[in-house]
Chains A and B, each alone.
Chain A
Amino acid sequence: MNPPTQTLTQDEDNALRESLKRCSAETIEAAIEYRRTRDAALANTIVIGILARFLEPEQRAKLAGDADHLRLMDDLGVDSLTMVEVVMLVEEVLVIHIENEELRNLRTLGDVKAYVNAVARGLPPPAPPVQLDVAQIADAMPQQPPFLFLQTAELRASEARGTFPLTGDPVTGEGFFPQGHFKDRPVFPASLQLEALGQLGVLLLLKGGVEGVAGEVDPNTIFFTSCNGVRCTRVCRPGDTLTLSLRPKRVKHPVAVFEGTVTVNGEKAAFAEEITLTFDYKKAVPATATADSGANGANVANGASPAAEASAADANA
């Protein structure tokens, strides 16, 4: 696949090193190797190295480890001008062209990596994320208010992000959550945090274009089956805004397994190693029953009630 290895002239080598002089040695070596071999597998290292060079030093540590979900602007402090600087250097080093209009769709580190990877391989860039507001979410989902725990959603094949503010009705300020279920001690129960993550999974299956979903998913066929490795570490109270993040781990009809995280202002509130849903596709002939349970062996509860409630509630007590 890759073109034959090329030799860099001394001038090209020098120019590349000069352009990358404030990047790590690892980045420079990867860039030189990339220019010799055009091995697109090096693109990630190069892109992350270039981005790191433009970050304030206190932000750089965030790039270590799994950082794909980090938002360039909100989490890393990369403004639009810095983004232009990053793009110019990436274009120069990888010898690619990045369209201005496409920049707007690159919101997370994962977006940048996916985009650059595609362009470096000569593939079409990945589809931009689907943004949904509360009305669009309510329209798509089988659940209905007040048992709908998503206010905004941003869907990519690789990740769904959602938010849910723990406030009452936007107009009256009244509602269940300002009041809560504990006497005089309103909280948003951990069981419902898992429910919110599950709902984001439903939305991702319906609208996200997830790899492994081979047809149009029937909203009425999605069910919760299990939840593993749940840890809840922060009590969420009225006034907090939950940020939900969900990533597909394995999706193969009829089972979809996700990893989910709930944070409030960057502070981790809940984490689930695995949230498993089952789903089915729309039939050519409209089905009258809600579920074609042929594929679902077990104990299927409607996507509304996570079985992990007990352990989650303990953590929140």
Chain B
Amino acid sequence: MSATGNASPTGAADAVGNSVVVTGLGFVSSIGNDRATVTASLRALRHGLEPYPPFEDPRTPVKLTGTIKGFDTTSFDPEDWTWPADYKIKRDVLRGLPPHGLYAYCAVQQALADARLTPAEISNPRAGMFTASAGSVSMLHHNMTRMFASGVMRCSPMGVVNSVVGTLSFNLVAAFKILGASCGFASACASSGHALGYARDEIALGRQDRMLVVGGEDGNLEAILPFAGMRALSPSADPALASCPFDRRRSGFVGTGGAAVLVLENEALARARGADIYARFRSWGQASDGYSPAISHPEGQGLSASMTHCLAAGAAAPADVDYINAHATSTPIGDRSEILAIKRVFGDAPRTAVSSTKGLTGHGLSMASVLEAAICCLALRDQFIPGNAHLREPDPDAAGLALPTLTRDAPADSPLRLALSNSSGFGGANVSLLFERA
């Protein structure tokens, strides 16, 4: 019925429902805090990775993160935080936020301005918000430490709301007075992909006219360093080596935080109000590995099924797809698994260009999917294909795949029309999203 990836056995299109378009973007990311800066970083392959002061301890085996510039959220007291002066935040909003709540609040404001939507146009029963975040480990840790040291009655009354999974929804749905559908998604690094897919369904099925999809991550020590325990982080202090998806020398990912926002709208209504349209959100699909809680399926089985479902739902053939924004995080096992998945669906030497923008941004975990969907929307609107930053020695398994090392404009005679974005999370959750030039 819906376009959730349940393709019919014949592979026929599941074209039921309203067409959905993207009309606004918001970014607080390691490569820029607005659309223009992010676009410039993508075009120039300017990465956002830096030595992260809390990792300076020599015993810490990791050195870099994708840092957020222009914000300071190091204190556990939100009233100590600083942020760019363009954003006005009242204390009763601020006090319940985790660090990524601040990023997300600003990114939502940015996306609404970008979409030229008024507060009333998103505060009505026809407009909803889906969010994706893993919660705030640092806030949780701080709250627990205080509780055990001083007793629960000396803890902040916002200590639950500012930390547990769901914190983004609690805070933003209230702050923006959302009256329609709202829900938080937690499927690790596929979270914001699920949020996007189900938000698309809300509009396609006619339940909502507009959906804000928000992904956020703290990107601080508590959020990132635990991944070193699973040997998933790159130990390299050299950005060119630390995040180099599809490169033979890759050694793990570089974590990042921030927030990204997409405004989705019913296409007919968006056109009626004269909105600028970035791209059409054509379809999505999902499938699971059923294999390991933490390791990708070695053959990329779930991810290939997810891409197949997405293409079938969007009535697109693999050969129609011009660009794949890969999930590839620069881990040895994960990138290989995605290479095999792409080859299984697209063939051994497809025309489709493949790149992972995590070489520039780092891996944004729960927010990665919405950040990369936003990057696909920029690419479709401005007609460019982002390159693979730091790719010098392609993995031999990737032979045959078109892995551009530089960002290039789409040729006039062969425009960028369809872009597919992949995301994979713990538990073998895989989501694929298909965007179309509008």
A positions within 8 Å CB-CB of B = 22, 54, 56, 77, 79, 81-82, 84-85, 88, 92
Cα separation A22 to B80 with both chains bound (whole Å): 10
Q: Are A56 and B154 closer than 8 Å at their CB atoms? A: no
Cα separation A84 to B154 with both chains bound (whole Å): 10
Q: Are B157 and A56 closer than 8 Å at their CB atoms? A: no
Q: Are B91 and A84 closer than 8 Å at their CB atoms? A: no
- Which B residues touch A77, using CB under 8 A? 92
Other CB < 8 Å A-B pairs besides A81-B157, A88-B154, 17 of them?
A: A22-B79, A54-B91, A56-B90, A56-B91, A56-B92, A77-B92, A79-B92, A81-B95, A81-B158, A82-B92, A84-B157, A85-B95, A85-B156, A85-B157, A88-B153, A88-B157, A92-B154
When C-beta atoms are compared, the residue in chain A nearest to B91 turns out to be A56
Q: Whole-angstrom distance from the CB of B279 to the nearest CB of chain A?
A: 40
Cα separation A22 to B153 with both chains bound (whole Å): 21
Cα separation A147 to B158 with both chains bound (whole Å): 49
When C-beta atoms are compared, the residue in chain A nearest to B96 turns out to be A81
- Which B residues touch A22, using CB under 8 A? 79
- Which B residues touch A79, using CB under 8 A? 92
Q: Whole-angstrom distance from the CB of A106 to the nearest CB of chain B?
A: 16
- The list of the 7 closest CB pairs from A to B, nearest first, reads A84-B157, A81-B157, A56-B90, A85-B157, A56-B91, A22-B79, A88-B154
Interface range on chain B (Cβ under 8 Å from partner): 10 to 19
Q: CB-CB contacts of B111-155 with A at 8 A, as 1s and 0s?
A: 000000000000000000000000000000000000000000110
When C-beta atoms are compared, the residue in chain B nearest to A54 turns out to be B91
18 contacts between A and B (CB under 8 A): A22-B79, A54-B91, A56-B90, A56-B91, A56-B92, A77-B92, A79-B92, A81-B95, A81-B157, A81-B158, A82-B92, A84-B157, A85-B95, A85-B157, A88-B153, A88-B154, A88-B157, A92-B154
Cα separation A314 to B91 with both chains bound (whole Å): 46
- Which B residues touch A54, using CB under 8 A? 91
Which has the most chain A C-beta neighbours within 10 Å: B91, B154, B156?
B91
- Which A residues touch B157, using CB under 8 A? 81, 84-85, 88
Cα separation A79 to B92 with both chains bound (whole Å): 9
Q: Whole-angstrom distance from the CB of B146 to the nearest CB of chain A?
A: 11
Cα separation A85 to B92 with both chains bound (whole Å): 11
Q: Whole-angstrom distance from the CB of A16 to the nearest CB of chain B?
A: 15
Q: Whole-angstrom distance from the CB of A22 to the nearest CB of chain B?
A: 7
Cα separation A79 to B93 with both chains bound (whole Å): 12
B residues 56-94 in Cβ contact with A at 8 Å: 79, 90-92
When C-beta atoms are compared, the residue in chain B nearest to A97 turns out to be B153
Cα separation A73 to B92 with both chains bound (whole Å): 13
When C-beta atoms are compared, the residue in chain B nearest to A82 turns out to be B92
- Which A residues touch B158, using CB under 8 A? 81
B residues 297-316 in Cβ contact with A at 8 Å: none
B residues 148-190 in Cβ contact with A at 8 Å: 153-154, 156-158
Q: Whole-angstrom distance from the CB of B66 to the nearest CB of chain A?
A: 32
Cα separation A84 to B153 with both chains bound (whole Å): 10
Cα separation A84 to B95 with both chains bound (whole Å): 12
- Which B residues touch A92, using CB under 8 A? 154
Cα separation A84 to B160 with both chains bound (whole Å): 14
- Which B residues touch A85, using CB under 8 A? 95, 156-157
Cα separation A54 to B91 with both chains bound (whole Å): 8
When C-beta atoms are compared, the residue in chain A nearest to B161 turns out to be A81
- Which B residues touch A88, using CB under 8 A? 153-154, 157
Cα separation A56 to B90 with both chains bound (whole Å): 7
Q: Whole-angstrom distance from the CB of A150 to the nearest CB of chain B?
A: 34
- Which A residues touch B154, using CB under 8 A? 88, 92
- Which A residues touch B156, using CB under 8 A? 85
Cα separation A77 to B90 with both chains bound (whole Å): 12
Cα separation A88 to B156 with both chains bound (whole Å): 9
